[in-house]
Structure 1
Amino acid sequence: MFCYLDWHYFIIWTKLLTLWKNITLFPFYYFSIPLHLRTLFAPWKKQLVRKKPGFHPTDIFYVVTFNFLSRLIAAIVRIITIICGLYLIVLFFFLFAIPAFIWVLIPFLTLPLYLFGIGKKKDPVSTIIKRSGGNPYTLLINLLKSKEGQFVILRLGLEPKEVFARLLPYAKKSTSSSPLLDALNMKNLSLADLFEMLAISYLPFKNILEEKNLKSEDVLNAALWYEKKQNLVKPPLFMDLAQIKSLPGIGVEWAYGYTVEFDKYAKDLTKNYSIFPLLLGREKEIKEIERILSKTQNNNVIIVGESGTARHALVETLAHRIFSGFCPPLLSHKRILSLDMPAVLSAAPTLLEVKGIMEKLLAEASFAGNIITFIDELDKYCSSQPGRTDTADVIAKFAVSSVGFIGITTPENYHKYLATNPVLAPLFEKVEVNEPDRETVITELELTIVPVLEQKYSLTITYPAISKTLENAERYISNKPYPAKAIDLLDESCLFAKTIEANALLPIHIDRFLSQKLEISLGEIGKSEKEKLSRLEEKIHQRVVNQEKAISVISSALRRRRLAVSSSKKPIGSFLFLGPTGVGKTETAKALCQIYFGGEKKMIRFDMSQYQKEEGLERLIGSVRTGTPGELTSKLKDNPFSLLLFDEFEKSVPEVYNLFLTLFDEGYIVDSNGKRIDARNTIIIATSNAGAEFIRENINMGVKDEQLQKILVEYVLNQGIFSPELINRFDAVVVFSPLSEGHLREVAKLQLLTLNKRLADKKVSVAITPELIKKLAIVGHDRQFGGRALSRVIAEKIEDVIAQKLLAGTAKKGEAIKIDL
């Protein structure tokens, strides 16, 4: 009985009083009564006529008459609006007072409503637990049948019918679980908690998840996704006074002027906001922008952030909040107009005329009284340097008026053009926009991006797909920051899934799309790839003779990386190849590039003898002084999946060595502008002839590979060729042994086979005989240049002969030309 009376006189009565109060106040705010009282005699849309200089009776009469009529018409319209609002206030007050007071007088008549649960606060968790009786099967089935359960199953990429069918055999087998019962007795459990507990402790459900490569964390996060969506649901309009206050009131724009000319060059973001109006996780930045724009002086903000950090979305979110009324009162009637500066610049041939147009537009905005001017890439219009236009004086003139400005720029351009500008710098307050953290990006995707993409592509986006999107975006997309790279990857993956007629976006679609786009292997390893990985050594030996140790070390690194065993924060592998000229160091790099990246075009080669002193460092990472981009940093940006080959590494200067310490250890370098350039998806090979003679001497003495590597490292350290810090950064230091005559025969055979491949389209070939191979090994043997001397012999003694025969026409089609050395 007490519960019923509490429900009748406290819960429902309180709601009725709130409803009565809000409905009564609705006309007060919707008819903008406070604003109309404050601006009762203000001219209509600020339409006034000013008297011309001199004494002109006709002109004076016209000005007085026009201004009087403007104020009179405005006052009449506002008075009528106020009267209508007041009439409705009185009407609603008495009309809705009747049911509120009747409710007090009819206790017990409402008992049926109470018994049916109307108006009672429902607890779905306790209801589901009570119905289950502690039986995990019943608990899970009831949970899966709830709205949240259906949402979770859908977002995990599971088929509801399949899940229920798989669980059916356990209907009679399931009994109460002691650990589960203990957990169910906990207070303040959410539906997400229930899902997680069942995913961990109920074996049939756990097995279903494991078969689909799903974890309990995926179930929990899918359930939390539902709770986030529910938190966005607003209460009914008349139960929330804040929503009533936020409604666009009648006649709000009557107190502000027209912007006829400005509108020709601008887009009203307040009315035409983005399809992604909810930028979540950026409350701090939005509040700071609102604070600056609400100031009475210097109410101008410059948003500083890298492209892709949602700078524009921040402005569009602010515009949406203003339109919806969820903003400070001082901004509630503002309009954010995006000024199309390229259109303004193209409207006049000279800078003076452009400034004249801008001054006219901004004067109109200032007179209107409710305009915030948004200028994208503000730095382009505040400097006289090449490719830029200096309109800073015009912007500064109106930046001190009632016109608030919002500008966008990058950190680099801010420091270069705006922070040093003595005119604008004091007038603009900076708001930095950085990359959001992982949780914020997930929330933005779930609540803002996913609904739009699902409608666009007519498919369901699962939580594991979102998680895989972030994982792959972080690992393989380095030329964009968050959230842009995650949004773009999710969008492109949805298009890919749609083209193969998938109904739901799954992690496998993210991997397949990125594999196709980047031409690399991702996701589960197929049968052919397993065979290729297990036979890497054999494949590299098809091009490289001897050097078993080097090839073994490299192959092991590639297998670890593909199977995600090695650290993902470092390059795929970094190796120092030590050995004489012509023993296969460069050829090994080419073979590796061909196998891992699909072609030698992915190899980026640097001769370190050309990068000396400070100028060499500037050539690699760029120069602030000249503005020249770096050769290494630029190529890494353009080719993030590549093999970096640094020839003659011992000739690098100490400044360059310091650059490589971070590159080898952390997988990135910093360019001259302070930007990180990602190198985690590269294989790095440094080659050096240092200690070549030392290697020959020790091999002649019979020193074995492992011992040779150890004493060679000690040798180059003692000689000061490389520092211990640098040597320790490499994954391995690999010694390449000099080639014997037997090895040279193998090299000769490989090179002749390669030559015949090139001659295939000429319909001729070289007759490869044991005698030819033996003679080539003898003639091409050179202690100093190794296999490179053999290449020169083949070019001079064989390729020249074939070229002469082809020119003379003496080579017959299909002929195997015999060469006599």
Structure 2
Amino acid sequence: MLPRLAIYLFAPLASASLVQLPQWPQRRLSPAGRLGLRPLPAAPRGSGQVQMVFDRFDRDAMRLVMDAQVEARKLGGSAVGTEHLLLAGTMQADAIQQALDRAGVKASGVRDAIRGPGGGSIPSLDGLFGLKAKDELLPFSKDTERCFRTTLIRSGEEHDWALIGSKDLILSVLRDEEVDAGALQLLTKMGLDRQSVLEEVEAGERELVGAGGASSGKNTTLSQCSVDLTRKARNGQLDPMVGRTAEVRRCMQILVRRRKNNPVLIGDPGVGKTAIAEGLAQAIVEETVPEKLKGKRVLALELGLLVADTKYRGQFEQRLKEVVEEVTASKDTILFIDELHTLVGAGAAEGAIDAANLLKPALARGELQCIGATTVAEYRKYIEKDAALERRFQPVRVEEPTIAQTLEILSGLKAMYSKHHGVSYSEDALVAAAKLAVRYIPDRFLPDKAIDLIDEAGALVQIAAFESTSRAKATPEVGVNDIAAVVAQWTGIPVSKLDGDESRRMLNLEQQLHERVIGQDGAISAISRALRRARVGLRSPRRPVASLVFSGPTGVGKTELAKAVADVYYGSEQAMVRIDMSEYMESHSVSRLTGPPPGYVGYEAGGQLSEAVRRNPHTVVLLDEIEKAHPDVFNILLQVLEDGRLTDNKGRTVDFTNAMLILTSNVGSRTILSMAQARSSQQVADVDDEAYIEMRSAVKRELLQRFRPEFLNRLDEIIVFAALKRHEVMQVAELMLTELTARCAENGYTIQLTPALKEVVVENGFSPTYGARPLRRAMQRLCEDAIAEAILDSFVFEGEVLTMDASAKGGVLLKNKRGKTREHTPPAGQGIEDDMVAPAANGEALPQYDMGLQPLTRPIV
């Protein structure tokens, strides 16, 4: 169909009355040929060898001629005149249309002059393909033939037989001064001067974004390294800009200056700097700009493409020089350079200058208009250092929008994202996106992070609808829970609304924590209350989830409780940052928390505390044995405890508002033990509630003596751990023995323990002074050693049951399934606690140990 249609369309060109041309040089297949248009048969004898004119046309010239043919036929004309070519030119979405528009040849005016009011738009190439071969197609008028003849001759004489573009045809139409030229009569009717229109279009020859490139048929440097934002705006390819009226107005004010008319947009990443440049392009297309900016083009320069493949010295400078010459000659181009700081040093090599220095002269004279965009940090680092470059730009501050302004932006973009994902967005979802982004994504900026939330939530709902078995026809809606689900995926923080199962789990936190930590009801209750406040959103959003101090003797479960919280509430024991504060006893080691200053080893690695929380903000931060840290550490912790934030060595703010801070300390352990020993008629484990309250008050007084008031005053609660009672030690022993049997089962051995053996383990491991740790050592000596010897001696085989009971001598009696028995008696005096004595209550020197340590000369606290 298409080749035959082309023959009908261009049959008039085969007439001998057009022009006889010499043999054309052999060339590769032209765009016309690639369209499927083949040359016409040879002309009749006697007419000479006439080559097909359209074989020299590129794709856009072919489209122009086809559109002119369709328009002439719709208007009922007898031939295709130059006025129809001009009409088709005003409808092209390229540089031709832009140049004609600037000259006053607007589509609406031409439509009124030729077609009359109410005419429809020119159909596309597909519309022409809908014509049938039997339909009569119009010949070309004499002025159109004259236009083709002139264009062909100029192509051979001036452009070395380059392909003919649509702009070449329009220039030939406007250069025709014959009185019978339809285009001339049209311009006269519209009250326009032909010569003025011609000069405007000729000046636009340097316009580089036309579909066929420049009239020479080659793409120029600027067209290869830039994107026309005004064209995208005209074609509806840019997102609408909402708000930012003041910033756009400020840019316009700078652009209409006579000298140094180059604004630079300075703001944090994601606040909308690029959107402001796109909004300016949209305003130019809508002609809602000052007169001096009407008809301007905004080209986004891709500096990476400009530098690419510049292997030899001078190539980059030549490319940039061509770009500057093209922009200054066009008089209507505004360059937009995103990441402006990349100009400094771009293309620089030994003996060469960088892009910034190449642009300085044109920027200062006002010949080159440029809009830059960069972040605050990079502007200070690169632009401010070069005073000569800085003075050529006028800064425009772009601040982060508020939540209300972000909501307006999301409302303006909602339609585009709804269309893209095939979903709808509720108003509550937009509000949740703005608020949750601020609260849970502090390291990014509005509106970018909120836009990303609604984008990914739309993708989430779209995929869920696709995977749904119901395949409902109703448009799925993005709700608050979908936004919360995306936030949870990004941060690991549970922010969705509580369901029934989770509500019950939060109410039973104490029971879950007691499964791992025996006793310490006060500590577990305080932590559970803090977690419930945080989960329902009642806690302060500017403070950590909880800031707690665990004080008490060693081995009573302080560290174990922190691990249990990480496991039960945060999902895993790995969700805990544990820092041993004994590593920060020296003043120079304090910087390791936030990172060494610039110039020191480890600067790029960041701080041990700040980097861990920055990467995982939903965590438990355990600062173990805080009393051993250097006093300067507490200065760093003050802002964390009060404001939930910490600034690292690179100036980044680390958010602690979703972290729980637990500080363990042995301060007060002497007080706890001394008060218990003073009650000679009672064991330490048998103190009543009144005695515990008295003990807690004494420990807090000791903490006040050890730590500064401003530090203690920022803590949510000081929790004093009491020494373990005997029945609590028995429960700890059961937990440890259960873990032992589970490890044996993993290796294929079934272990059965009698209650009598548990009593023996507790009897050998119970120590009010040292808590539950001696219990672990007793279990190792009594149980683990006996099982290991039984396995190595083949007393028990894999898959068999081994029964363990207490012996009459206080050891362990083992019995296998074959009825054989053996006794294991641990060596006497092998436990560490056998050589330990309780610390003196008055803080005097500790006794000397067998391991050769000398007695301390000062109290440990």
Q: Structure 2: which amino acid aligns with 1:723?
A: R
**Distance verdict in 2 for CA 1:601–1:288, change over 3 Å:** same
Amino acid at match of 1:334: K
User: 2:710 aligned to 725, 749, 754, which one?
Assistant: 725
- Matching residue of 1:454: 418
Greater Rg, structure 1 or structure 2? 2
Alignment of 1:785-800 (within 5 A): 785-795=770-780, 798-799=783-784
What are the residue-to-residue correspondences of 1:360-399 with 2, within 5 Å? 360-383=322-345, 391-399=355-363
**What secondary structure does 2:593 align onto?**
helix
Partners of 2:790 and 2:285 in 1: CA distance: 82
Q: Secondary structure at the match of 2:662?
A: strand
Does 1:710 find its partner at 2:672?
no
Percent of paired sites with the same residue: 27
Deviation of 1:359 (Å): 3.2
State the Cα deviation string for residues 284-327 of structure 1 (Å, max 9, x = none). Answer: 11222222233332222332222221222222222222233222
Q: Distance in 2 between matches of 1:368 and 1:335?
A: 10
CA distance in 2, matches of 1:704, 1:548: 15
- Contact 1:278-1:317 within 8 A present in 2 as well: yes
Q: What one-letter code is carried by the residue in structure 2 that aligns with 1:572?
A: V
What per-residue deviation string (whole Å, max 9, x for no partner) do you get for residues 185-225 of structure 1?
A: xxxxxxxxxxxxxxxxxxxxxxxxxxxxxxxxxxxxxxxxx
Q: What secondary structure is seen at the aligned counterpart in 2 of 1:600?
A: coil
> Per the alignment, in what secondary structure is the counterpart of residue 267 of structure 1?
strand
Contact 2:241 2:275 in 1 (8 A): yes
**2:48 matched residue in structure 1:** none
How far the C-alpha of 1:261 sits from its partner, in A, is 1.3
Alpha-carbon deviation of 1:587?
A: 0.8
CA–CA separation in structure 2 for the residues paired with 1:775 and 1:591: 28
How far did 1:741 drift? 4.0
Mapped to 1, the partners of 2:789 and 2:347 lie a distance apart of: 59
* Residue 610 of structure 2: aligned partner: 633
Q: Give the whole-Å Cα distance in 2 for the aligned partners of 1:82 and 1:654.
A: 89
From the superposition, tell whether residues 514 and 426 of structure 1 become closer, same or farther in structure 2 (CA, over 3 Å). Answer: closer
Please say if residues 515 and 522 of structure 1, whose CA atoms lie closer than 8 Å, have aligned partners that are also in contact.
Answer: yes
Which residue of 81, 87, 95 maps to 2:189? 87
Partner deviation per Cα, 1:557-616 (whole Å, 9 max, x = no partner): 111222223323322211111122221111101111111111111111122232356644
Contact residue 262 and residue 370 of structure 2 kept, 8 A: yes
CA drift at 1:435: 1.3
- Determine helix, strand or coil for the equivalent of 1:314: helix
What CA distance in whole angstroms lies between the structure 2 residues aligned with 1:768 and 1:554?
Answer: 34
Change (3 A) 1:610 1:421: farther
Q: CA distance change for structure 1 residues 791 and 403 in 2, over 3 Å: closer, same or farther?
A: farther
SS of the residue 1:704 aligns to: helix
What amino acid is the match of 1:584? G
2:272 maps to which of 307, 310, 317: 310
Residue 680 of structure 1 deviates from its aligned partner by: 1.4
Quick check: 1:342 aligned with 2:304? yes
Question: How far does residue 378 in structure 1 lie from its aligned partner after superposition?
Answer: 2.6
CA-CA distance at 1:421 after TM superposition: 2.3
Residue 751 of structure 2 is aligned to residue 743 of structure 1 = no
State the distance in 2 between where 1:611 and 1:78 align.
90
Contact 1:779 1:793 in 2 (8 A): yes
Residue 434 of structure 1, aligned match among 399, 410, 414: 399
User: Which sits farther off after the overlay, 666-675 or 729-738?
Assistant: 666-675
Secondary structure in structure 1 of the residue aligned to 2:577 = strand
Q: Using the alignment, how far apart are the partners of 2:325 and 2:791 within structure 1?
A: 80
The DSSP-based 3-state class of the residue aligned with 1:400 is helix
Is the counterpart of residue 529 in structure 1 residue 517 in structure 2? no
1:745-764 alignment runs, 5 A limit: 745-764=730-749
Q: What are the residue-to-residue correspondences of 1:72-221 with 2, within 5 Å?
A: 76=175, 84=186, 87-88=189-190
1:174 matched residue in structure 2: none
1:812 aligns with 2:772: no
CA contact (8 A) 1:344 1:358 kept: yes
Matched position secondary structure for 2:556: coil
Partner residue, 2:228: 268
AA of the residue aligned to 1:787: A
Separation in structure 2 between the aligned mates of residue 676 and residue 794 of structure 1, nearest angstrom:
47
Give SS of 2:574's match: helix
Given that 2:671 and 2:698 are in contact with CA atoms closer than 8 Å, whether structure 1 keeps it comes out as no
Provide the C-alpha distance between the structure 2 equivalents of 1:387 and 1:759, rounded to a whole number of angstroms. 68
Report the Cα offset of residue 767 of structure 1: 3.2
Structure 2 Cα separation of the partners of residues 330 and 573 of structure 1: 60
The answer to whether the 8 A contact 2:552-2:721 is kept is: yes
Structure 2 residue 448 is the aligned partner of structure 1 residue 484: yes
Paired residues of 2:667 and 2:699 also in contact (CA < 8 A): no
Aligned to 1:590: 563
What is the TM-score when the length of structure 2 is the normalising length? 0.63
Distance of 2:325 and 2:788 partners within structure 1: 78
1:456-488 Cα shifts (integer Å, max 9, x gaps)? 122221112212222322222223211111111
Cα 1:398–1:30 change in 2 (3 A) is closer
Counterpart selection for 1:509 from 474, 482, 485:
482
Are residues 808 and 728 of structure 1, via their aligned partners in 2, closer, same or farther at CA, if it must alter by over 3 Å? Answer: same
Q: Distance in 1 between matches of 2:740 and 2:581?
A: 30
Q: Residue 278 of structure 1 corresponds to which residue in structure 2?
A: 240
Structure 1 runs not aligned, ≥5 long: 1-26, 37-58, 60-68, 91-248
Choose the corresponding residue for 2:259, options 282, 297, 304: 297
Q: Decide whether the 8 Å contact of 2:555 with 2:771 is kept in 1.
A: yes
Instruction: Please tell me whether residue 679 in structure 1 is matched to residue 781 in structure 2.
Output: no
Letter of the 1:432 counterpart: R
State the secondary structure of the residue aligned to 1:641. Answer: coil
SS at the partner of 2:387?
coil
Instruction: Between 351-360 and 457-466, report the one with greater CA deviation.
Output: 351-360
Deviations 1:118-167 (A, max 9, x none): xxxxxxxxxxxxxxxxxxxxxxxxxxxxxxxxxxxxxxxxxxxxxxxxxx
Q: For each residue in 1:744-767, what CA deviation from the matched residue of structure 2 results, as whole angstroms up to 9, or x when unmatched?
A: 332222122223334443222443
Report the structure, 1 or 2, having the larger helix content: 1
Secondary structure, aligned partner of 1:349: coil
Q: What is the deviation of 1:252?
A: 6.3
State the distance in 2 between where 1:650 and 1:386 align: 55
State the shift of 1:392 in Å. 2.9
Structure 1 residues 641-687: Cα deviation after superposition (integer angstroms, max 9, x where no partner): 11111112223334432332222222222233433222211111111
CA distance in 2, matches of 1:817, 1:299: 91
In structure 2, give the amino acid aligned to 1:437: T
SS at match of 2:516: coil
**SS of corresponding position for 2:260:** coil
What letter matches 2:189 in structure 1? Answer: Y
Partners of 1:577 and 1:783 lie apart in 2 by: 18
Relative to structure 1, is the Cα distance of residues 594 and 699 closer, same or farther in structure 2, using a 3 angstrom cutoff?
same
> 1:398 deviation in Å?
3.7
Distance 1:763 1:556 in 2: 42
How do residues 543-554 of structure 1 correspond to structure 2 at under 5 angstroms?
Answer: 543-554=516-527
Asked if the contact 2:347/2:355 (under 8 Å) is kept, the reply is no
Provide the C-alpha distance between the structure 2 equivalents of 1:386 and 1:539, rounded to a whole number of angstroms.
64
Instruction: Tell me the secondary structure at the aligned position of residue 564 of structure 1.
Output: coil
Query: Structure 1 765/312 Cα, relative in aligned 2: closer, same or farther at 3 Å?
Result: farther
Q: Aligned AA for 1:470?
A: A
Change beyond 3 A, Cα 1:418–1:387: farther
Contact 1:435 1:483 in 2 (8 A): yes
Q: Measure the CA separation in 1 of the matches of 2:348 and 2:659.
A: 36
Q: 2:430 aligns with which of 466, 470, 477?
A: 466
Report the alpha carbon displacement of residue 276 of structure 1 after superposing the two structures with TM.
4.9
Q: 1:379 to 1:513 in 2, by over 3 A?
A: closer
Q: Hey, what's the Cα distance between the residues in 2 that align with 1:480 and 1:301? A: 25
Does the Cα contact within 8 Å between 1:569 and 1:666 map onto a contact in 2? yes
